[in-house]
Amino acid sequence: MSSDFFPDVEQIPYEGPDSDNPLAFRWYDADRLVGGKTMAEQLRFAVSYWHSFASDGSDIFGAGTLDRPWLESIDPTTNSAIDPMEAAKEKMSVAFEFVSKLGAPFYCFHDRDIAPEGATFAESCRNFDELVELAADHQERTGVELLWGTANLFSHPRFQAGAATNPDPDLFKYAAAQVAHCMNATKQLGGANYVLWGGREGYETLLNTDMGQELDQLGRFFSMVVEHKHAIGFEGAILIEPKPFEPTKHQYDFDVSAVHAFLQKYDLADEVKVNIEVNHATLASHDFQHEIAAAFAAGIFGSIDTNAGDDRLGWDVDRFPVSVEQMTPGVVELLRGGGFTTGGMNFDAKLRRQSTDRNDLFYAHIGGMDTMARALLAADAILSEGELDRRRDDRYAGWQSEQRILDGRVTLQELHDAQLTSGDEPKRVSGSQEELENLVARYIERIK
């Protein structure tokens, strides 16, 4: 495949809110300063290899619909078998063509997205290494960087009972080898982070599961990852991506709080952070903004997989975000926490199965990037004007003169005795939620 898989698209330009050009940004203006950084630096967008290039739109009811010739096994023009390594190279050229024409600064991948599995582990490693070399050349040529790498420890049937939490130690060993190899490659490609999503680290039934044993295995696995990070001198962050269920009925890294408790138990809270996915947050019955705030409160915020769920569907639909109203509160929490350091926003989002034109992939990303850019502008305006934080600070103002309670210098009995003598009924103050919601709505309406 030549580098013109998307022949009618050149560089996607920024044209401003009045533009009707469907192949232009209306809000994402990479160099525009927002809150002291450029939009590109604030949002750190990444294209996800798997949904965009390694998936053909198939679902459990039907075959793939998308135009992804490198995923075919037979070449329809010659009727001959397609060499999977050649196909992987074509896929990579198209991926870099797309990311650079889009103008996203980053991409991210699973090891198996970029290179085919071999007949043996050694062959899989050789396949992967060859494509990693090629990725290094493409990165160099286009300036696109790697936000994160991750190992796919869930697609192959060998992982049917999990990877690190598998009852069979041979699977733990296999997964450890695969993660070590993928971490080495991520370092080689200058990746800013390394992600671990517990693909099948969970269970279907307790009738055959020793939960304590599995959690200890997972704790040891993550410790080995951290030890390896230091051994190879990888400077990026290690990120766990919480998800409450799917594919297993119960996933161990349920949400940010479960991951934080887990990290504390296994003494990893200073070494590992979280990669928060919007649709995983909503599946866990949280708002996206809840998970961001929980991560900052615990000191483990890392990165964001941005997408959107569907109010009526209780599974991971991975839609591209389209609602500024829905995304703004999450970006408010992101900015309140100080924004990204090594992390960024990758689109863990996929085209709908009927979106079969090549340019649909551009429309999807342009819409997602414009939505997040508008959410950034609204969040920045809300926080710079300061009313929201002033109101929040006012609610806690009483604590300024009661620090001794938080410092542990007052006992429960002393508070009891003081209450007996003062006898005062605490004053009730309005939470003003609706007024604050209207304030946020005003900022969203006025984005310029």
Which residues of the chain form contacts with ligand XUL (CB under 6 A)? Answer: 110, 150, 195, 197, 241, 243, 277, 305, 316, 348
The answer to whether residues 181 and 111 touch, using CB atoms and an 8 Å cutoff, is yes
The one of ligand XUL, Co ion, none whose footprint includes residue 124, by CB under 5 to 8 A per kind, is none
Q: How far is CA 90 from CA 21, 87, 96, in A?
A: 29, 5, 10
Q: Note every long-range contact of 255-260, with CB atoms under 8 Å and residues 24 or more positions apart, other chains counting.
A: 255/280, 255/281, 255/284, 255/286, 255/291, 255/294, 256/291, 256/294, 256/295, 256/298, 256/300, 257/294, 257/298, 259/300, 260/294, 260/298, 260/300
Q: Name which of ligand XUL, Co ion, none residue 243 binds, using a CB cut-off of 5 to 8 Å depending on partner kind.
A: ligand XUL
Among residues 100 and 289, whose Cβ is nearest to Co ion?
289
Distance CA 367, CA 359 (A): 12
Binding to Co ion (CB under 5 A) within 312-351 occurs at: 348
What's the min distance (Å) between Cβ of 195 and ligand XUL?
A: 6
> Which partner in Co ion, ligand XUL, none is near 150 (CB below 5 to 8 A by kind)?
ligand XUL
Going through 21-112 in order, the beta strands assigned E by DSSP cover 33-34, 37-38, 45-48, 106-110
Structure tokens at 116: 């085919």
Tell me: does residue 113 bind Co ion (CB under 5 A): no
Under 8 Å between Cβ of 269 and 295 = no
CA dihedral 118, 122, 127, 131 (to 10 degrees): 140
End-to-end CA distance of the chain, in Å? Answer: 41
Tokens of 309: 């769920």
Nearest distance from C-beta of residue 305 to ligand XUL, angstroms: 5
| CA–centroid distance for 52 within its chain | 15
CB nearer to ligand XUL: pick between 150 and 282 = 150
305 contributes a contact to Co ion by CB under 5 A: yes
Compare residues 150 and 326 and give the one whose CB is closer to ligand XUL.
150
Instruction: Find which of Co ion, ligand XUL, none residue 316 binds, CB within 5 to 8 Å per kind.
Output: ligand XUL
**Secondary structure of residue 165 in the 3-state scheme:** coil
Least CB distance from residue 343 to ligand XUL, whole Å? 13
User: Among residues 241 and 255, whose Cβ is nearest to ligand XUL?
Assistant: 241
Alpha carbons 428 and 4: distance in angstroms, whole number: 65
What DSSP character marks residue 14?
A: B
Complex with ligand XUL: residue 39 or 163, whichever CB lies closer: 163
3-class DSSP assignment, residue 177: helix
**Residue nearest to ligand XUL as judged by C-beta position:** 197
Positions marked active-site: 110, 113
Contacted by 214, from ligand XUL, Co ion, none: CB < 5 to 8 Å by type: none
Binds 145: which of ligand XUL, Co ion, none (CB < 5-8 Å by kind): none
- Report the nearest approach of ligand XUL to the CB of residue 126 (Å): 23
Tokens at 435, concatenated: 């007024």
Closer residue to ligand XUL in complex, CB, 277/333 = 277
326 binds, among Co ion, ligand XUL, none (CB under 5 to 8 A by kind): none
Q: For residue 97, state whether it binds Co ion (rule: CB under 5 A).
A: no
Give me the least distance between CB of 346 and Co ion, in Å please: 8
* Contact (CB, 8 A) for 48 and 347: yes
Pick out residues in 258-277 that bind Co ion (CB under 5 A): 277
- Whether the bond between 242 and the residue before it is cis, its omega within 30 degrees of 0, is no
Part of the chain binding Co ion (CB under 5 A), chosen from 19-27, 218-226, 301-309, 389-397:
301-309
CA distance 99 to 104: 6
Closer residue to ligand XUL, CB minimum distance, 214 or 277: 277
Tell me how far, at minimum, the Cβ of 209 lies from ligand XUL, in Å. 21
**Site track for Co ion across 346-385, x = CB under 5 A:** --x-------------------------------------
Q: How many CB atoms lie within 10 A of CB 385?
A: 13
Cβ-contact 42, 340 below 8 angstroms: yes
Q: How many residues bind Co ion (CB under 5 A)?
A: 3
List of residues contacting Co ion (CB under 5 A):
277, 305, 348
